[in-house]
Structure 1
Amino acid sequence: MPFYGMQLTYFQAYLKYALRQVKYTAMVCNKMATNKCKFRKFLTPLLLTCAFIFSSPLSLKSACAASNLNQLNKQQTDEYGVTTKKAQLTAFANILGELKNHYGMIKYKYETFGTTYKNLESKYTRLIRTATSLEEDSGLRPKVARRVLSSDEFQQLMIGFSDEFRDGHTNILRNTSHYYTLGIKAAALQGHLYITGLMPNIITPGTTSTKLQVGDEIIEINDTQIMLLAKENLLYTQRATAESRLERALESTINVDNRFYRTKIAGEEVKIKFRRTQVDGPTIEFTGIFNWIDFPDIKEQIKIAKELSKSYSFGDRGTESYFSVGLDNLSLAEGSIIDLGKLFNSEVSDKEQITRLKAYMIRYENKNIGVIRIPDYSPPGSIKEMFAEVLWLEKMILRLESTTDVLIIDQAHNGGGYVDYVSRLSQLFANHADGMKGVTLDVRLSDYLMLENTDGSGNSKTESNLAKLYIDKKVLEKLKEKVTNGDRWSGPLPYMGSGAIVSEGSFGLITSQNVKPYTKPVLILNDSRSGSGGDFFPSIMQANKRAKVFGTKSMGLGGPVYRSVPSITQAEMNMRCTMGFCLRSDGLPVENVGAIPDFEREVRPEDLKNNFKNLSADALKVAVDMANGKNAIDIKNHLKSRIDSEFPLLKNSPKYVMPKELILKDLILFASRTRYSALIRLNELLLLKKFQNIQDLTLINQVMQDLEQLGDDIILTGFDITCADILTQ
């Protein structure tokens, strides 16, 4: 019996608890008869005592788990103290007030989703007053009779409130760093959850009748379908695009960040059902038993996992990427890859060396392909490290300009970072005589913007909080003027680049300045795990027709963050919010849209099994086509034919159908038929057509009617396709 020791631990814990209850249950029997209001207080331990006497070991474990959960909830209630409706309503009012004063996306969210403070205030005030959770309100769980939400339930409700904005930069979170795992690394691909690796060096992952493999699908947890569990997580995911929201919701069923999701019980037993699809054999299903492990510090957990991991797993952030892993498995001829970064570092001083970034050149199909790997735009340390990396990239670009035919920038899984990093990186590719256009930024103005930062002694270190935004000086003066005049919104002003012309509607100007820019074709590798700066850099390059994007749509985090509150009064939660709304120079918002790929190539379960060699080959072949001057349509057709040959089984396999709940939330909730709304609807319609989803013809017809009203004048960047093209397909 593999978990006999675990069961004995539960038995001993419960035995001590039950005996203690027996002692005082006898003493209070008279009180129960005379004081009805105390009856419920003593009924629970009495029933648990009966369960101890008459139950099987499995029932004992369940009863003990329930007892642990009750103790956990009580501990959290005692710790946070938001235990009355009055306190919860006050805390909610503080959170709402913070957003009203500082949130810079509300106009766009209203135009796109119909989101208003009034509607949200009404909904969440009702839920607090009726002590109702979001799962209960959504019909995912039966209503529980309670007088008031526990502190933990209230915090979970506020996390769900933040999710209503569909903004990955606007978060309301628990003040905790706890992270719960079952010892399995997993990634959501095409609406399913697949194993990408295990953590045997951290914990014993569990026992299964069949040895687990990368690419095995997780289909059930405790006899519940994985998608049903993901539906609950979707209430709290706080992501922007439908794809990234579903990915996060699925992956959080087995690896749980307690800041966002419900608390798990450390040691609790979990049964998981797996499915393995075999090319040369039958599909098999098998189960395994695992236990929740609590890491008190999520950052420490991630650090340990990276240190002890023997190989890259899809989803890992860092210098390695699935593209570089695929290259290693392509069996290219010896000498085909030259490590330029290592060579450059050997020629400079220790202070000038950068090892976090990678640069190399590949000889492939008679072309020299340069590759730069940038894991994120937030190097560890101070702002000095950021400038050091940009200088390193500047020198590397100079070498690549003279030695390569095309450049691949690998920014897969790039979570963003410094705004200034993105701006300066873009300068290295501004080969147009007039430079490139950045974006516009419409800021929610407040007195907070004018507050001066101090060094602790009252001495001012910067002009104001505005200085943290890396805004051009001319634009900065314009914002100060508007704040002084009492304006609440700045209007769209230049951002990411210099403000040569400071007028509403003008874009930031990105020029090469004193840097010699790269002039050859550029291909950016991007995916749904890239966001913020990982949205903006490919978006700026794409909007200026300076690069093509390969992969999948990014997260869609479309505005900078400047306002963070470590502890909301009476809520005992921390929050941050987006300061403003950004618009690309081609008229497309980044928020909820992301950088849309010119050449779409998803990571598939088969890629996990072949170590991404087909995916890396596809990227290289697209780069070669670009170097040869092929047009986008021919490159797309070439890529499609390769994908069809790589995945022949997909032609006969069931098509993935996006859950109706996601479609309803991300399409039906669009309140007005504006330009922004129509562009996002067009993108989602492409998604529906791609998956051949015909479950909701009414929904598709509604979207098509919206598009018909616009005509064929709006082009969705990245697809080179008009509304009319979609309607006639």
Structure 2
Amino acid sequence: QGEMNDFVSSLRSQFETRYAPVQWKKELRDWSLDEEIALLQEKIDGGSLSVKQFQQEVARFFHRLDDYHCSVLFFSTEASSLPFLVKKVEGEYHITYIDESKLDTKTFDIAVGDRLISFDGRAVDETVKELIRVPDGASPLTEQSLAELTLTNRRGSKAHICPKGPIRITVEKQESGKRNSYELVWSYSPELIQNPLVKMGPKGYVSPFDVASKNPQLKCNIDMKVAGFHPHSLGEKQTYLPPLGSIVWESPYEGNFHAYIFLTPEGKKIGYLRIPHYMFDEKHIEELAPILARFEQETESLVIDQLNNTGGNIFFLYGLLSMLTDEPLKTPLHHMRLTQGDVMLAYAMLDALKAVSNNDEAQMIWGPTFYGYPVNYQTVVLLRNYYQHMIDQWMAGKLFADPIHVYAIDTINPNPKVRYTKPLLVLINELCFSGGDFFPGILQDNGRATLMGVKTAGAGGYVTAQMPDNLVGINLYSLTASLAIRQDGTPIENLGVSPEIYYELTKEDILKGFKPFAEAILKAVSEL
């Protein structure tokens, strides 16, 4: 119990110090840190929690926040999976993907589009509902989709119960309506990490896992991915969309971005660009630049596919946006949660920036661009304003700072070399997180693009991560350290970004390889 109490005490301290959307969560969900900590403490005081059970209670604490930036990961090697995925459409669960390297469809008469009737002797919906993290959350489609991914992909690192052994499923053939039952076996990886409270020695033990080498932002995003490559996973190079038309040019297969130019039935040339996430850097901006330059020369409009986008680096995101406009784009404001560490950093950065007095000196430090975002003396002025704002707010006693743009970048100026100026159609869905919220939100707020799909997840702020030394198996946890505000004054957190053109996947999409979705996209493009 001592280790559990120690962790809960440190968790409370971090939330009191760092968590920015406290008041917003109170208004939206009547959330209270005191009440949530008391619930967790009550479980510990019962005196019978195992480490695994404690981890599950900690996971529930994070889930009840209804905040996709707030997550916790545990040290665990345990995992279970089945070689297929399902999705609920029109009240039924249909198989959307089969890993045929692990499921012989000649032996098991199962195909994409077939209906899953039962799962381990239960109605599928019963099990999926148990896997939904926040039953009353602000983004029910997101919760449903995440639970569907979890149904056949469980991980101890997320405090899941990982089944092993046989499981019986019943599948209804789409064409004939015939039902067949099959016994499959979970692909199971055992837990190799012993319970440190029992086996691993005295307090102060540090796990041999090299947690310091992990990028917390990347880790939290990638953790939403399903193991293996397939077009329904998160953050993949290609999605489930079929080609939107006759392809007349396509980017090299070995590149990081799937892009092509296609012909519509009317003979118009339209561009397509897949953005799987924003965890890219400077060289990837350089890869995108000639693609967008070609699109500007040859196409009449551009479809940007950011379905299942897991977010990432704000500077790459701003750099990409700078190449999609010929007018400055306004960015969201952020309420930041400040600590002494932020203020100390602000003083250090202001001191370092004193020496920069012109464009050349700014570019000597950062180069001509930073993650594709153009660098000049104005960049330095903005940074000075940003760090001075931190100091001023701290001196005024404001731990929850008045809103400011991240790094004081209030507008994204057009790229000096590459600018795509034609109409944009951006595809979004419930599995677009963080940068996947901000990218379409900025375009929408500035009237630069038309959005199509369903509301994004609503992860609206930037993230800090904690990697605490402990003996209860906590790898890391992340907190939302800012609350982003759109141009109309509403937060992105929980509300997400809603499309102008609503399109939710249908049963026909799954049965026909998503051709109805592609046809709807073509119709939308023709009307831009």
Deviation at 1:87, TM superposition (A): 3.6
Given the alignment of the two structures, is residue 293 of structure 1 paired with residue 187 of structure 2, yes or no? yes
Alignment partner, residue 337 of structure 1: 247
1:115 to 18, 21, 31: 31
1:219 to 91, 94, 117: 117
Alignment partner, residue 139 of structure 2: 241
Helix, strand or coil: the match of 1:119? helix
Alignment partner, residue 486 of structure 2: 584
Helix, strand or coil: the match of 1:252? helix
Looking at structure 2, the residues matched to 239 and 260 of structure 1 have their Cα atoms a distance apart, in angstroms, of: 19
Alignment partner, residue 372 of structure 1: 273
1:159 to 31, 37, 59: 59
Looking at structure 2, the residues matched to 296 and 416 of structure 1 have their Cα atoms a distance apart, in angstroms, of: 31
Deviation at 1:355, TM superposition (A): 0.6
1:546-695 equivalences in 2 (<5 Å): 546-561=448-463, 563-567=464-468, 569-573=470-474, 574-626=476-528
Helix, strand or coil: the match of 1:361? strand
Helix, strand or coil: the match of 1:416? coil
TM-score in terms of structure 2 length: 0.80
TM-score in terms of structure 1 length: 0.59
Looking at structure 2, the residues matched to 102 and 114 of structure 1 have their Cα atoms a distance apart, in angstroms, of: 19
1:305 to 200, 210, 228: 228
Looking at structure 1, the residues matched to 32 and 321 of structure 2 have their Cα atoms a distance apart, in angstroms, of: 36
Helix, strand or coil: the match of 2:468? coil
Alignment partner, residue 169 of structure 1: 69
Alignment partner, residue 148 of structure 2: 250
Looking at structure 2, the residues matched to 536 and 355 of structure 1 have their Cα atoms a distance apart, in angstroms, of: 25
| C-alpha contact 2:231 2:238 (8 A) present in aligned 1 | no
Larger % of strand: which?
Answer: 2
Alignment partner, residue 196 of structure 1: 96
Query: Rg larger in 1 or in 2?
Result: 1
Give CA-to-partner distance per residue, 1:368-405, whole Å, 9 cap, x none: 211222221113xxxxxx11222333333233223221
Deviation at 1:94, TM superposition (A): 1.8
Given the alignment of the two structures, is residue 520 of structure 1 paired with residue 426 of structure 2, yes or no? no
Alignment partner, residue 314 of structure 1: 232
Alignment partner, residue 275 of structure 1: 172
Change in Cα spacing, 1:404 to 1:265, as seen in structure 2 (3 Å) is closer
Alignment partner, residue 425 of structure 1: 320
| C-alpha contact 1:236 1:260 (8 A) present in aligned 2 | no
Given the alignment of the two structures, is residue 509 of structure 1 paired with residue 411 of structure 2, yes or no? yes
Q: How many residues align?
A: 471
Give CA-to-partner distance per residue, 1:433-485, whole Å, 9 cap, x none: xx2210000011112435669xxxxx99x979xx9999940212311333355
| C-alpha contact 1:193 1:251 (8 A) present in aligned 2 | no
Looking at structure 2, the residues matched to 463 and 120 of structure 1 have their Cα atoms a distance apart, in angstroms, of: 42
Looking at structure 1, the residues matched to 117 and 469 of structure 2 have their Cα atoms a distance apart, in angstroms, of: 38
Looking at structure 2, the residues matched to 192 and 478 of structure 1 have their Cα atoms a distance apart, in angstroms, of: 52
Of the structure 1 ranges 312-321 and 112-121, higher mean CA displacement relative to structure 2 is found in 312-321
The share of aligned pairs that are identical, in percent, is 22
Alignment partner, residue 444 of structure 1: 337
Looking at structure 2, the residues matched to 362 and 93 of structure 1 have their Cα atoms a distance apart, in angstroms, of: 57
Deviation at 1:274, TM superposition (A): 2.4
Helix, strand or coil: the match of 1:243? helix
Alignment partner, residue 359 of structure 2: none
Given the alignment of the two structures, is residue 539 of structure 1 paired with residue 441 of structure 2, yes or no? yes
Change in Cα spacing, 1:87 to 1:316, as seen in structure 2 (3 Å) is closer
Change in Cα spacing, 1:359 to 1:198, as seen in structure 2 (3 Å) is closer
| C-alpha contact 1:193 1:250 (8 A) present in aligned 2 | no
Change in Cα spacing, 1:423 to 1:177, as seen in structure 2 (3 Å) is farther
Deviation at 1:316, TM superposition (A): 5.9
Looking at structure 1, the residues matched to 329 and 65 of structure 2 have their Cα atoms a distance apart, in angstroms, of: 31
Which amino acid letter does the alignment assign opposite residue 95 of structure 1? L
Alignment partner, residue 143 of structure 1: none
Given the alignment of the two structures, is residue 490 of structure 1 paired with residue 401 of structure 2, yes or no? yes
Give CA-to-partner distance per residue, 1:591-646, whole Å, 9 cap, x none: 112221111122223222222222112212210111xxxxxxxxxxxxxxxxxxxx
Unaligned runs of 5+ residues in structure 2 are: 192-218, 354-365, 374-378
Change in Cα spacing, 1:482 to 1:463, as seen in structure 2 (3 Å) is farther
Structure number with greater CO (CA < 8 Å, separation at least 6) is 2
| C-alpha contact 2:43 2:49 (8 A) present in aligned 1 | no
Looking at structure 2, the residues matched to 127 and 525 of structure 1 have their Cα atoms a distance apart, in angstroms, of: 43
Deviation at 1:114, TM superposition (A): 1.2
Q: CA RMSD in A?
A: 3.4
Deviation at 1:565, TM superposition (A): 1.7
Of the structure 1 ranges 114-123 and 165-174, higher mean CA displacement relative to structure 2 is found in 114-123
Of the structure 1 ranges 573-582 and 367-376, higher mean CA displacement relative to structure 2 is found in 367-376
| C-alpha contact 1:220 1:273 (8 A) present in aligned 2 | yes
Which amino acid letter does the alignment assign opposite residue 43 of structure 2? L
Which amino acid letter does the alignment assign opposite residue 284 of structure 1? K
| C-alpha contact 2:74 2:159 (8 A) present in aligned 1 | no
Deviation at 1:102, TM superposition (A): 1.0
Larger % of helix: which?
Answer: 1
Change in Cα spacing, 1:237 to 1:564, as seen in structure 2 (3 Å) is farther
Looking at structure 1, the residues matched to 227 and 10 of structure 2 have their Cα atoms a distance apart, in angstroms, of: 37
Alignment partner, residue 127 of structure 1: 43
Change in Cα spacing, 1:207 to 1:338, as seen in structure 2 (3 Å) is closer
Which amino acid letter does the alignment assign opposite residue 82 of structure 2? L
Deviation at 1:358, TM superposition (A): 2.6
Helix, strand or coil: the match of 1:582? strand
Change in Cα spacing, 1:370 to 1:570, as seen in structure 2 (3 Å) is same
Deviation at 1:154, TM superposition (A): 0.8
2:392 to 465, 476, 481: 481
Looking at structure 2, the residues matched to 207 and 192 of structure 1 have their Cα atoms a distance apart, in angstroms, of: 24
Change in Cα spacing, 1:359 to 1:252, as seen in structure 2 (3 Å) is closer
Helix, strand or coil: the match of 2:158? coil
Looking at structure 2, the residues matched to 412 and 154 of structure 1 have their Cα atoms a distance apart, in angstroms, of: 35
Looking at structure 1, the residues matched to 270 and 190 of structure 2 have their Cα atoms a distance apart, in angstroms, of: 44
